């Protein structure tokens, strides 16, 4: 069994490409608890796409929260400045 893994100390999951004796490749995801999920490359691509989509949505949502708070603070600052000047 030939496999290539990308591991770092901070990861909670390890992803490996495993080549079977028949020449077919599988993607193995080893979770922090030791469980291993085996999937076809197509299944892994679908999972990766779903993960990327969810992460992008979360980042946009967080960015909108920060942006909204900045606008609120800017509005409050402008109101304070105009009342102080007048």
Which is higher by pLDDT, 80 or 61? 61
Closest-CA residue to 16 (of 24, 4, 33, 25): 4
pLDDT band for 57, please (50, 70, 90 cuts): very high
Q: Are the CB atoms for 39 and 24 separated by under 8 Å?
A: no
What is the Cα–Cα distance from 6 to 27, expressed in whole angstroms?
Answer: 12
pLDDT in tens, 2-51: 455 555 556 689 999 999 999 999 999 999 999 999 999 999 999 999 99
Produce one character per residue of 29-43: b if its CB has 16 or more CB atoms within 10 Å, e if not: ebeeeeeeeeeeeee
């Amino acid at each position: 069994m030939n496999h290539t893994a990308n591991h770092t100390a901070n990861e909670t999951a390890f992803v490996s490409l495993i080549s079977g004796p028949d020449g077919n490749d599988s993607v193995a995801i080893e979770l922090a608890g030791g469980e291993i999920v085996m999937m076809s490359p197509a299944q892994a691509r679908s999972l990766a796409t779903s993960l990327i989509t969810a992460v992008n949505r979360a980042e946009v949502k967080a960015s909108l929260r920060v942006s909204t708070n900045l606008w609120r603070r800017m509005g409050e600052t402008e109101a304070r400045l105009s009342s102080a000047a007048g």
